[in-house]
Amino acid sequence: MSQLTLKGSCLCGAVKYEVTGDPQRFYHCHCSRCRKSSGTGHATNILMTKATLAFSHGEPRLKRFKLPGAERFSRQFCTECGSPLARVVPELNAVVIPAGSLDDHVPIKPQGRIYWDSRTDWTCDGDTLPRFPEGPSGLLPAIVQGPAGGDRS
Rg of the chain (C-alpha set): 15
State mean pLDDT over 107-133. 88
Kindly report, residue by residue over 32-75, the tens digit of the pLDDT: 999 999 999 999 999 999 999 999 999 999 999 988 887 778 89
Q: Is the pLDDT of residue 124 over 90?
A: no
Q: What superfamily would CATH give domain 4-144? A: glutathione-dependent formaldehyde- activating enzyme (gfa) (3.90.1590.10)
Q: Report pLDDT digits (tens) over 73-104.
A: 889 999 999 999 999 988 778 999 999 999 99
Residue 23 CA to residue 10 CA, distance in Å, equals 21
d(CA 15, CA 144): 26
**Residues 6+ away with beta carbon under 8 Å from 4:** 20, 21, 22, 23, 48, 107
The model scores a pTM over 0.75:
yes
Residue % of the chain over a pLDDT of 70: 88
Residue 143 sits at φ, ψ, to 5 deg, of -65, -30
